[in-house]
Structure 1
Amino acid sequence: MIMSDVPASGATANASATTTDVQGDTFQHDVVRNLICRQARYPDIATTHDWYMALAYSVRDRMLARWAASTKTYAAKDVKVACYLSAEFLIGPQLGNNLLNLDMTSEAREAMRALGQSLDDLLAIEEEPGLGNGGLGRLAACYLDSLATLEIPAIGYGIRYEFGIFDQEIRDGWQAEITDKWLQKGNPWEIVRPDVSHYVSFGGNTQSETDAQGRLRVRWIPARQVKGVACDMPMQGYRVNTCNVLRLWKSEAVESFDFQDFNAGEYYEAVEEKVVSETLSKVLYPNDEPEAGKRLRLAQQYFFVSCSLQDMLRLMDAKGTPLDKFPDLFAAQLNDTHPSIAVAELMRLLIDDRLLSWDAAWDITQRTLAYTNHTLLPEALEKWGLPLFQSLLPRPLEIIYEINRRFLQDVRRQFPDDEARVKRMSLIDETGERKVRMAHLATVGSHSVNGVAALHSELLKQTVLHDFAEMFPERFFNVTNGVTPRRFLMLSNPELARLLDQTIGNGWRRDLAQLDALAAHADDTALHDAWRTIRRGNKTALAARIQNATGIDVDPAALFDIQVKRIHEYKRQHLNALYIISLYRRLLRDPNLDTAPRCFIFGGKAAPGYAMAKLIIRLINGIAEVVNNDTKIGNRMKVVFYPDFNVKNGHWIYPAADLSEQISTAGKEASGTGNMKFMINGALTIGTLDGANVEIREEAGAENFFLFGLTAQQVEERKQAGYRPAEYAQGNDDLRDALDQIAQGRFSRGDKQMFQSLLDNLLKHDPFLVLADFADYVACQDRVSEAWRDTRLWTRMSIMNTARSGKFSSDRAIAEYGEHIWKTRATRIDLARS
């Protein structure tokens, strides 16, 4: 370790906090020890970041003691480990969450205060790990939290991205993508394990040969190999000793420096292999519009899947478990299609490396793997062109061909004389450019396929996987998504958590279903007063952050109407925008209009290559520019686009929402988890019957949910009948006026062309029926305003939403996975005996 004797820039002097001042085996002493021994700083010159790192290491030390005990117990006992394979793990800042789970928040606060530091300041500077993008990664993170809390042995497997997807800035109303350098100052939660590494092959060709027993064997001769090195992050359960692991793979060159090239003066060539190999784990979701982006994305998926499966086999060998018992030792869940190459890769490892017969390997593969589908959008179901697949993964492609050959034989036997079905079910899409259908591969190679909300699971069986559901009805399950109440209530809304403790006891913290007891207090006047006080405090805090981030001054007394999620046409942020324009125009025409004062808050990122989504962001900011500067409106309306929405910002946004916008086209959203985070914090939902909204409405009660819009069946019927969106605009004065205002450049500083493609899309195509649902949405928003004016009614509805949110805990979801799909069981960790 290199010690620094130069005072750091911006260091906060604290001469009283020296090593001689802190005696004994105390947490405070550990923080100072880590400051000196790990940060190479002494208190007098330490920066706030130095203190954060020292505190984080001190917390990690306590977690690692539990991790060691957990690992030892798993190795000694006959346990089954749930392995969650995901391209994303949006775990959020770790310090606050780990302190909460260890029940150390108060202790840490006092220790840091004694050292002249503010725990809140240290929490605020923590970088959010750039390991995910949206709901998929946040769900995976919630599931890791619940696995540990429920004491289920588990490993999360993914990629250690050096750079996250991007940080979002808003420049002149447009999204600007900034490099997410989340690792720039180090990650105290990470343990790099160079001794745990695996080699992954790419390119080249295959050679067939017959072994001594007369069996055909295939040898893959790759063009190059990459080494995957394990980087571990401990995942601590809530007030239990279980500490599982998130194992992320970092790519490295097998031979990172060619001395011969260097001596020959070819300096770049000497390190070229290192540069190329490390690109694999460089950035989350490279733009896959160009061919190079597609190639990198497929390589990333194969890289982390291969490393993970090899690691599971390594752990099996270390435990001395026979190969045929592999499915009894591990359950591997494929989180969407990104890890679906696992079907072919596990087969390759078993038949090529372990020399199993095809039938024995296929039995192990199917019994080990399970697949979660997260989308009904055909364009989101991954397909990879055969030329790309062949050049990058020749041996896995051969295995996919053989899986497909055998599978289609089974299809023909079960459904004779139905070649149309055979064509639909083939793992290879033969229409146009031939492609591998990854969702089909995952479905065929898994023993379980689940959707993530009741409606989604039914639509999955009726639409994109209909043929498979007919052939394998026993494989299909539903597991409605859930969110962790630790991060999204206890951590982000501590005042509400304390009020719940006072009202119904603290049993809900371990069993969210106990929130149901709150319903009995829904008419309690004292609870109403306390509830509103807490909500007002949360809104005031968010208002301050909005002012700081955007310069917009919002009134905490207004109705906070919030839509934060990935920007996508099917999520229909532009439906919300059209309503805002119509409301603005109504207020201009009638200044005495009796409507609730509103603050409309948006947040979310658009994919860098998604032009329409970026245009929607520009429209929202254009509306904000006009509305917020119109003195005739005053504080009756404000529009905010909160930049760089992520888990950290979500801590402030979810507890402050009065109204949660869940307005996707019915039948398009698989589930959603933001809707659950809003609900648990007492927000009311305005939404369609889509995804988990259906179950949220069932739980909360129809009277506590603002429903509008076409159903999934009506959406399909409307499309089949020949949907003509322009007719809706012609028949609705408010809608026509809103569209005209956009066309006239009202929200683009006079530029009449800026939003023309968006208008053309809505008026000529409108694939997500924005215009068809507009009138009903406006009427529903009027009902929202009416309810808001009745303070007692709104407060009661808010309380009831929190009371009925117990179903949407990720603990419940993980328990269902464990019981119905993984067949895992809890394993108690005894810290004293370890």
Structure 2
Amino acid sequence: MCPSPTKKEGARSEIAASPARTLKEDILHHICYTLGNDPERPNKYKVYMGLAYAVRDRLIARWIKTQRALYDHLAKRVYFLSLEFLPGRFLKNYLISLRMEEETRETLAEMGFDLDDLEEQEWDAGLGNGGLGRLASCYMDSIACCDLPGYGYGIHYDYGIFHQVIDNGYQREQADNWIRHGNPWDIKRRHYLVPVNFNGRTETYRDAAGRMRVRWVDTDLVMAMACDILVPGYGDDYVTNMRLWAAQSSREFNLETFNQGDYIGAVESKVISENISKVLYPSDEGEFGKELRLKQQYFFVAATLDDILRRYRKLQRSLADLPNFVAIQLNDTHPAIAIPELMRLLMDEEGLGWDEAWTICEKTFAYTNHTILPEALESWPVDLIGRLLPRHMQIIFEINHRFLEAVRSRHPDDPDLAQRVSLITEGETKQVRMAHLAIVGSHTVNGVAALHGEIIKRHLFRDFHRLYPRRLQYVTNGITPRRWLKQVNPPLADLITEAIGPDWIFDLEQLRGLEPLAEDAAFRQQWAAAKRQNKERLARYILRKIGLGVNLDTLFDVQVKRIHEYKRQLLNVMHVITLYNRITDHPDEPTTPRTVIFAGKAAPAYHQAKLIIKLIHSVANTINSDPLVNGRLRVLFLPNYCVSQAEKVIPATELSEQISTAGMEASGTGNMKMTLNGALTIGTMDGANIEIMEAVGAENIFIFGLSSEEVVEKRRKGYDPNHYYRNDGELKRVVDMLATGHFSPQQPHLFAPIVQGLREKGDFYMLMADYRPYITAQDAVDRLFNDSDQWVRRSILNTARMGRFSSDRAVMEYARRIWHVHPLGKEGDPSASSRPAAAPTV
């Protein structure tokens, strides 16, 4: 696990020591001299920015100290490559990590400001989209907290994926200009620009030794500027960083064109170049979007590998020793182009032969797979890669040629195997399978949950598991307890600390100490009171955000995640309609009151997901305005789901909806966050739900529906969704209400595509089959919620048994099993020999 609290106590006295100026003096200093404003006339924005710069000062001092220590210990370093990071807001996280929150609250109160109010000045960083980016940020937090020598690398996007607004129930996308007011947390290294090449051609030549070599010439050049965002550990001096790359033109503009009067043309190349880091995930429906996405991937990979080798050269060691000092983790396939890029650098720039370069690559890279859906596995047209990255396409062809020769040699009895595992798909449009490239070029491939690990071995990458029986494994995802309990849920975190001490912040297994307290009536009352405070805070947020009041005595039933058919928000809506029908049919019968909360974004081009958002709003409008319901059922959708919104929703959640079709969710981390905060889960045997059930106990979770094996079997035998439609009266009624426009009387056929998906197009995600088991499980939820004492008891046990889902545990598994790195200063550094002195590097 991470370094113990005892180890960290020794560093805290230094952290707590007073700086040359007090925090208030620092804030006023930055308002005056950094912002150029009058410190005697502060407002929220000025004070927030002044505080941010004061906090950043303290982080930078610790970051420099950490960099020196990394060189002093000759540590092997981890480079975590991810096209997404989703850190949320930085201010509160930094204050908690530096143990400055109370000091800051007191200082701001003296100045007439409130920290929680001031925090709202910060916009969520638009550097990621969903679970992939949030996981990457959790892992960076744990890398820092566990004193591991690691960095994150990605892209510094000017715009996030989009800002979601709801217009008459429809999702509308607006630009997410998250840095429009500036970002005080960036450290821009304007002096450090890395050249990145595109297009051009390759040519062969003989070097001075007479060897045939290849060079990439006549390229278009884009510069990558490094932007560092600091990532502190908790309660000690360790601070690492994410290095995010921003695209810069190689020239500001063409002066000759400008002087001829073509003002637009003069800056056109600059604008096109800088588009690379403009927006997260440009639409890839058109050729321009595809090209831009591939450019993004290569852009940040090329700059990152240049940075890695620059650091490594300071050690003055042989390139053959690179895997002993460098571990590169590919977070999904987005950075997989790093494999041919490192081969290019080692062969074309450093002069190594193929075999030596390939051995280095295989020992350096590891790949995390994040999806089970074959259609979600990334591929790129050969023609596109060949045009943008001609040298890399040559290298990929050669990797594939050598790999397939070995496959045919080792498995002559299976002539089709080579085609199945080939890096290149044949056909009218040849494609490069990036997952296959990542598997072949890595020493370890891991899934992100136990079920996911089995699925990639048995189904998704079965042939590769046959070829590399030791390569495929899994590391179950985790979440950081600093952000997702201590920071977001002060009432519960303080109660836990009072009951069992603060060690859980570093070692989440310590939560086991809560188990006996689940039987203590007084503690259960305190637990319920803490949960009530979080519900009150969320209710205030809902009222402010969408103008809707909610009843705190209702069950807060929550499904917040990306809108996708396999995540089955539609199944949740079908249950809501069923509850509505029961209430209106029998208005005098008692029911368990619920507030059903949805949030999440649909991909801009995902029309069925956007129609589900419209359906949620239409159902909500009908139910919330029906006097027969009388507050017993309320449905709402919170627009623009993001980390800062999740921080308010998750602590208040009582029922966590994790209802994806079994075998389709790789892991999930929202399920972990909600359970850690005392929610009970209703879910399928999918992703990490299985391991959560094993941890908390089957009696403390509501599991329903088909297993992944049963889903596969039903599809194999021929699945008939209309069988369930015909034989379940409540289900038939729900589907018919959608079909006849009950919730859209002005447009009776509005939801026809949803009905067609359920009845005529095969119900691929098996909502019809899982409807009745889901309803039965929800009825069990109602019965337990009516026994408030038992509900709270099980809530406590859910939190108490979540220790294994810490991201600290996950990154230490990576460190031991995959990266082979050690916490800074621990035994096991790759070499104890002397080295040349090296200055701290940026």
SS in 2 for 1:140: helix
After TM superposition, the structure 1 = structure 2 runs for residues 146-185 of structure 1, keeping only pairs within 5 Å, are: 146-185=142-181
Q: Which residue of 2 aligns with 1:41?
A: 37
Q: Which residue of 2 aligns with 1:624?
A: 620
Q: Which residue of 2 aligns with 1:16?
A: none
Measured in 2, the distance between the counterparts of 1:314 and 1:256 equals 26
Summarize deviations over 1:667-726 as a string: whole Å, max 9, x none.
000000000000100000000000000000000000000010000000000001111112
Equivalent of 1:372 in 368, 373, 380: 368
Q: CA deviation at 1:449?
A: 0.2
Equivalent of 2:358 in 350, 359, 362: 362
Unaligned regions of 5+ residues in structure 2, if any? Answer: 1-17, 827-839
Q: Which residue of 1 aligns with 2:269?
A: 273
Equivalent of 1:768 in 751, 765, 768: 765
> Which amino acid is the alignment partner of residue 788 of structure 2?
T
Measured in 2, the distance between the counterparts of 1:194 and 1:137 equals 26
> Which amino acid is the alignment partner of residue 792 of structure 1?
D
- Residues 203 and 215 of structure 2 are in contact (CA less than 8 Å); yes or no, is this contact kept in structure 1? yes
Question: Structure 1 residues 495 and 23, CA, compared in 2 at 3 Å: closer, same or farther?
Answer: closer
Measured in 2, the distance between the counterparts of 1:117 and 1:186 equals 21
SS in 2 for 1:483: coil
Measured in 2, the distance between the counterparts of 1:340 and 1:154 equals 19
Summarize deviations over 1:74-129 as a string: whole Å, max 9, x none.
12321011110000000110000000000000011111112222111111221110
Q: Which residue of 2 aligns with 1:604?
A: 600
Equivalent of 2:409 in 406, 409, 413: 413
Measured in 1, the distance between the counterparts of 2:769 and 2:428 equals 33
Summarize deviations over 1:541-564 as a string: whole Å, max 9, x none.
111111111122110110000000
Q: CA deviation at 1:439?
A: 0.2
SS in 2 for 1:166: strand
Summarize deviations over 1:423-467 as a string: whole Å, max 9, x none.
000000114421000000000000000000000000011111111
SS in 1 for 2:231: strand
Summarize deviations over 1:121-177 as a string: whole Å, max 9, x none.
111221110000000000000000000000001110000000000111111000111
Q: Which residue of 2 aligns with 1:284?
A: 280
Q: Which residue of 2 aligns with 1:12?
A: none
After TM superposition, the structure 1 = structure 2 runs for residues 501-650 of structure 1, keeping only pairs within 5 Å, are: 501-650=497-646
Matched, 1:738 2:762: no
Q: CA deviation at 1:24?
A: 6.7
Q: Which residue of 1 aligns with 2:9?
A: none
> Which amino acid is the alignment partner of residue 232 of structure 1?
D
- Residues 166 and 180 of structure 1 are in contact (CA less than 8 Å); yes or no, is this contact kept in structure 2? yes
Equivalent of 1:236 in 216, 225, 232: 232
- Residues 491 and 533 of structure 2 are in contact (CA less than 8 Å); yes or no, is this contact kept in structure 1? no
Further displaced range: 546-555 or 421-430: 546-555
Measured in 1, the distance between the counterparts of 2:707 and 2:510 equals 32
> Which amino acid is the alignment partner of residue 206 of structure 2?
T
Measured in 1, the distance between the counterparts of 2:712 and 2:218 equals 47
Matched, 1:755 2:743: no
> Which amino acid is the alignment partner of residue 744 of structure 1?
T
- Residues 787 and 793 of structure 1 are in contact (CA less than 8 Å); yes or no, is this contact kept in structure 2? yes
Equivalent of 1:804 in 793, 801, 805: 801
Q: Which residue of 2 aligns with 1:304?
A: 300
After TM superposition, the structure 1 = structure 2 runs for residues 344-355 of structure 1, keeping only pairs within 5 Å, are: 344-355=340-351
- Residues 660 and 684 of structure 2 are in contact (CA less than 8 Å); yes or no, is this contact kept in structure 1? yes
Q: CA deviation at 1:483?
A: 0.4
> Which amino acid is the alignment partner of residue 221 of structure 1?
V
Q: Which residue of 2 aligns with 1:80?
A: 76
Q: CA deviation at 1:319?
A: 3.2
Measured in 1, the distance between the counterparts of 2:696 and 2:350 equals 53
Measured in 1, the distance between the counterparts of 2:591 and 2:457 equals 43
- Residues 151 and 240 of structure 1 are in contact (CA less than 8 Å); yes or no, is this contact kept in structure 2? no
Q: CA deviation at 1:23?
A: 12
Measured in 2, the distance between the counterparts of 1:257 and 1:126 equals 34
Q: Which residue of 1 aligns with 2:387?
A: 391
> Which amino acid is the alignment partner of residue 537 of structure 1?
Q
Q: CA deviation at 1:221?
A: 1.5
Question: Structure 1 residues 714 and 432, CA, compared in 2 at 3 Å: closer, same or farther?
Answer: farther
Identity of aligned residues (%): 47
> Which amino acid is the alignment partner of residue 576 of structure 2?
I
After TM superposition, the structure 1 = structure 2 runs for residues 428-439 of structure 1, keeping only pairs within 5 Å, are: 428-439=424-435
- Residues 689 and 712 of structure 1 are in contact (CA less than 8 Å); yes or no, is this contact kept in structure 2? yes
> Which amino acid is the alignment partner of residue 224 of structure 1?
D
Q: CA deviation at 1:327?
A: 1.2
Q: Which residue of 1 aligns with 2:98?
A: 102
SS in 2 for 1:179: strand
- Residues 89 and 644 of structure 2 are in contact (CA less than 8 Å); yes or no, is this contact kept in structure 1? yes
Q: CA deviation at 1:216?
A: 2.2
SS in 2 for 1:635: coil
Q: Which residue of 2 aligns with 1:339?
A: 335
SS in 1 for 2:476: coil
TM-score normalized by structure 2? 0.95
Measured in 1, the distance between the counterparts of 2:600 and 2:446 equals 27
SS in 2 for 1:44: coil
Q: Which residue of 1 aligns with 2:52?
A: 56
SS in 1 for 2:245: strand
Question: Structure 1 residues 332 and 24, CA, compared in 2 at 3 Å: closer, same or farther?
Answer: closer
SS in 1 for 2:160: coil
Question: Structure 1 residues 23 and 98, CA, compared in 2 at 3 Å: closer, same or farther?
Answer: closer
Q: Which residue of 1 aligns with 2:196?
A: 200
> Which amino acid is the alignment partner of residue 811 of structure 1?
D
Question: Structure 1 residues 23 and 439, CA, compared in 2 at 3 Å: closer, same or farther?
Answer: closer
> Which amino acid is the alignment partner of residue 455 of structure 1?
L
What's the RMSD between the two structures over aligned residues? Answer: 1.3
Equivalent of 1:679 in 660, 675, 678: 675
Matched, 1:469 2:465: yes
Q: Which residue of 2 aligns with 1:794?
A: 791
Measured in 2, the distance between the counterparts of 1:341 and 1:163 equals 24
> Which amino acid is the alignment partner of residue 556 of structure 1?
L
Q: Which residue of 2 aligns with 1:785?
A: 782
Matched, 1:251 2:229: no
Measured in 1, the distance between the counterparts of 2:470 and 2:74 equals 28
Measured in 2, the distance between the counterparts of 1:594 and 1:387 equals 65
Further displaced range: 264-273 or 676-685: 264-273
After TM superposition, the structure 1 = structure 2 runs for residues 641-680 of structure 1, keeping only pairs within 5 Å, are: 641-680=637-676
TM-score normalized by structure 1? 0.96
- Residues 73 and 825 of structure 2 are in contact (CA less than 8 Å); yes or no, is this contact kept in structure 1? no
Q: Which residue of 2 aligns with 1:710?
A: 706
> Which amino acid is the alignment partner of residue 457 of structure 1?
G
- Residues 595 and 786 of structure 1 are in contact (CA less than 8 Å); yes or no, is this contact kept in structure 2? no
SS in 1 for 2:193: strand
Question: Structure 1 residues 219 and 503, CA, compared in 2 at 3 Å: closer, same or farther?
Answer: same
Measured in 2, the distance between the counterparts of 1:804 and 1:432 equals 53
Matched, 1:824 2:821: yes
Question: Structure 1 residues 744 and 227, CA, compared in 2 at 3 Å: closer, same or farther?
Answer: same
- Residues 163 and 282 of structure 1 are in contact (CA less than 8 Å); yes or no, is this contact kept in structure 2? yes
- Residues 744 and 750 of structure 1 are in contact (CA less than 8 Å); yes or no, is this contact kept in structure 2? no
- Residues 381 and 430 of structure 2 are in contact (CA less than 8 Å); yes or no, is this contact kept in structure 1? yes
Matched, 1:449 2:442: no
Question: Structure 1 residues 299 and 23, CA, compared in 2 at 3 Å: closer, same or farther?
Answer: closer
> Which amino acid is the alignment partner of residue 124 of structure 1?
E
Question: Structure 1 residues 828 and 92, CA, compared in 2 at 3 Å: closer, same or farther?
Answer: farther
Measured in 2, the distance between the counterparts of 1:828 and 1:497 equals 31
Measured in 2, the distance between the counterparts of 1:826 and 1:300 equals 32
Summarize deviations over 1:54-80 as a string: whole Å, max 9, x none.
001101111101000011111232101
- Residues 202 and 222 of structure 1 are in contact (CA less than 8 Å); yes or no, is this contact kept in structure 2? no
Q: Which residue of 2 aligns with 1:17?
A: none
Q: CA deviation at 1:237?
A: 0.6
Measured in 2, the distance between the counterparts of 1:217 and 1:715 equals 53
Summarize deviations over 1:510-554 as a string: whole Å, max 9, x none.
100110111111110111000011111111111111111112211
Measured in 2, the distance between the counterparts of 1:712 and 1:593 equals 37
> Which amino acid is the alignment partner of residue 747 of structure 2?
D
Measured in 2, the distance between the counterparts of 1:433 and 1:411 equals 24
